[in-house]
Amino acid sequence: MASIFNSLNIGYSGLNTAQSGINTTSHNISNANTPGYSKQRISQQAQAPLHNIPGDVGNGVIVDTITRVHDEYIFNRYRGSQSELEFTSYTQTTLEEVSDYFPDLQDLGIAKDLQDFFSSWSDLSKDPNSSAQKVVLANNTQKLTNTLNDTSQKLESLQDRLNEEFKEGINEVNKLAREIVEINKNINKIENVRQGNANDLRDQRDQVEIKMNKLLNISVFKGQLNKDISQRTDMGNSYSINIQGFNIVDGTTYHPIEINSTNKFNSATYSSHDGHLIDFTSKIRGGKLGAIVSLRGSELDSEAKSVNSKIQNYIDDIDTLAKGLIQKTNSIYASSAKEKMQSQAYEIDHDTKLAEVADINKGDFNIVIYNNQGEIVSKRAISIDENTTLNDGTADSLISKINAEIDDNEDNDATNDLNDFFEAKMVNNTFTIEQKDGVDGYYVAIEDNNTNFAGYSGFSRFFEGSSAKDINIAYDIKENPLNLQSFKAPIDGNNDLANDMVTLQYESINFTRANGTSSSQTLEEFYRFTVSNIATDATNAKISHDATESLDNSINQRLKSVSDVDMDEELMNLMKYQTAYQSSAKIITTIDQMLSTLLSIKQ
C-alpha cells in the first residue's frame, strides 16, 4: 500500500510542477508587452528518493526555483547608455531651441536689423536734414535694439527654465531613491523569509534605476551574480547606489540630496554623516541633470553669472556684440558738435587709472570747438597714459588736462583756446563739458583716436545701456527723432557724422569675449561668428545623439534577445507543460484504478 500511495504522490508532484510551469508561462504571455518585464523560467529537480533495496526508489519532481531570465552585465550597459542618450537628447533639443532664437532669414534677425540700421544712416547721409529719414533711422534703430533685447531675454528665460528643471530633477532623484528603498524592503521580506525570488520586484527596481539614470549617471552595486553564466542575474540583498563617491541608497536607507538657492540659482548639496554640506552640483554627470549643468552652469561667479555654461557663453557673446555696437556708435556720435556734453554716470572711482579700465585704451582724443558758422576755433589732444585719471586733483587727471591754460592754436592768443570757451567738471559722478559763464555761440565735440573714452563714457550718446539686455536708443531721440544729428560741424547740410556711421559697418572692432579671447572683426562678422558657434554646437549635439541612439538601440536589442518574452517559445512551453500535466494526470488515473482493483479483491 505504501508503494501505491508513493506512486500517487509522484503523480501529484508532476501535476504541481506542470501547473507551476503553466502558471509561469501564462505569466510571461500576460506580460509580453509590459515594459521592463523579464521572462521567467522554472527550475525543477528530482525529489530526494526513498533509499531501499535493491536500489533508490524515485520520489517525484519538485520546483526548485522560479527565476527571471536576466543578464546583469548587459543590463548595466543598457542602463549606462540610457543616461548618455538622455544627456545627448536633452542637449540637442535645447541647443536647437537656442538656434531658433537666431533665425537670420531674409527679412528677420539681428543681421538683417544691422543692415537696415546702416542703410538708414546711408540714406540720411544723402539728405542730412530730412525729417522723414531721421524717423526711419530711429524706427530701424528701435527695431534692432528690440531684437537684441528679445534675444537676450529668451536666453535668460531659458536659463531660468533650466534652473527650475534642475530643482525638479533633484527632487525626482530623491523620490526615486525612496521608491527603491521601499522595493528593497519588500524584496528582503520575500527572499529572506520565504526563501523565494522576488522576480517582479527586481524587474520593477531595474526600471526605477533606469529612470534615475536618465536623470544622472549612477553606479549600482548589487549582491553576487548567479553562477549560472547563461543567466548572470543579480542575487542576494546587498544593494547600494553611488553617485561620484556619494551613496544615495544603502540597502533600505537613503540619503537625500538637498537643494540650495542663491541669487535664484539652484544648486545641490550632500549632507555627510557629520552634517557637513558638500557641493554636489559639480559631481553630476550624464542624464538630463548632467545636460542641464552643462548648459546652465555649475555655479555662479562674483558677478552672479553662471560658470561653465553654454547658454551663458551665448549671452556673453550677444552682450559683447551689443557692447561693441553701443560704444563704437556712441564714440562716433560724440563727434557731433553740441552746446554741452555730459557722460553717463561712472562706476569707477575718480582716482582710477583709466588705462587699467578694460574698455579704455592708451592714446589720445581730440576736443574740438566750433563756432556757430561751423568753423573749428580750437582743438586740443587729450592724452590717456598710465597715470591718467578722471579727477584726482593732479595735473594727470582729464579735468586738469581739459581746463589747463594751453595755447592750442599756437598763435600766442590767450583768448581762443579750449579753456577760454569750455570747462570740464564732475557733476553728480558724471563728466560734464559746458560753456563758461558769459560764453555763447560755441559748440564742443569729441573726436576719438581709438582710446574708446567717448564710447565708454557715453558722451551725448546715441545708444543707452551696456548690453543686449538693456540696449536702447537714447531717450531724447526716441521721444523726438528730429533731435537726431547727422553732422559734425553745426551747419546745415553737413553729413560727416552720418558718413562715419556708414563706414562703421566695414570697420574692424576689437571684440574681447567673456572667456578672455579677442578678435578683430566687423559687427556683422562677429555676429556671424557667434551664430556659427551656436549652429556648430547644435549640429555636434545632433551627431552625438545619433551615435548614442544607435549604440543604445544595439544594446537594447541584445537585452531584449535575452529577457523579452518570445511568444513562439512560450506557446511551445505551454504545450510542453500541458503534455506533462496530462501525463501526470494519467499516472494518478492509473493509481486510482489500481486502488479500485485492490479494494475489490478485499471485498
pLDDT in tens, 37-46: 999 999 889 8
**Sign, CA torsion 321/322/327/331:** positive
Is the distance from CB of 378 to CB of 409 less than 8 angstroms?
Answer: yes
Q: Given a cut of 70, is residue 77 above it in pLDDT?
A: yes
Question: Could you write out the DSSP letters of every residue in 36-103?
Answer: T---EEEEEEEPPPBP-SSS-B---EEEEEEEE---HHHHHHHHHHHHHHHHHHHHHHHHHHHHHT--
Angle between helices 287-296 and 131-188 (to 10 degrees): 150
Q: Where are the beta strands (DSSP E) in 170-314?
A: 219-222, 239-243, 246-250, 253-254, 257-262, 265-271, 277-279, 299-300, 306-307
Q: Given a cut of 70, is residue 105 above it in pLDDT?
A: no
Tell me which of 82-96, 269-283, 290-304, 472-486 is least confident: 269-283
Q: What is the pLDDT of residue 234?
A: 66
Q: What value does the mean pLDDT take over residues 416-425?
A: 94
Q: With 0-12 CB in 10 A as exposed, 13-18 as middle and 19+ as buried, what is 144?
A: buried
Is the distance from CB of 419 to CB of 413 less than 8 angstroms?
Answer: no
Q: What value does the mean pLDDT take over residues 241-269?
A: 90
Q: In 3D, which of 591, 501, 584, 447 has the Cα closest to residue 13?
A: 584
What average pLDDT is seen over the chain?
Answer: 91
Q: What value does the mean pLDDT take over residues 36-59?
A: 85
Q: What is the pLDDT of residue 381?
A: 95
**DSSP assignment letter at 433:** E
Q: pLDDT exceeding 90 applies to what percent of the chain?
A: 72
Q: What is the pLDDT of residue 34?
A: 93
Query: Does residue 219 or residue 229 have the better pLDDT?
Result: 219
Q: What is the pLDDT of residue 228?
A: 54
Tell me which of 43-52, 287-296, 510-519 is least confident: 43-52
Helix (H) or strand (E) holding 521: strand 518-521
Q: Given a cut of 70, is residue 585 above it in pLDDT?
A: yes
Tell me which of 141-145, 279-283, 543-547 is least confident: 279-283
Category of 176 on φ-ψ map: left (φ > 0), alpha (ψ -120 to 50) or beta: alpha
Q: In 3D, which of 575, 585, 577, 579 has the Cα closest to residue 11?
A: 585
Query: Does residue 509 or residue 230 have the better pLDDT?
Result: 509
Q: What is the pLDDT of residue 229?
A: 45
Q: What is the pLDDT of residue 230?
A: 47
Q: What is the pLDDT of residue 115?
A: 95
pLDDT grade, residue 435 (50/70/90)?
Answer: very high
Q: Given a cut of 90, is residue 389 above it in pLDDT?
A: yes
pLDDT grade, residue 532 (50/70/90)?
Answer: very high
Q: Given a cut of 80, is residue 56 above it in pLDDT?
A: no
Tell me which of 35-49, 171-185, 226-240 is least confident: 226-240
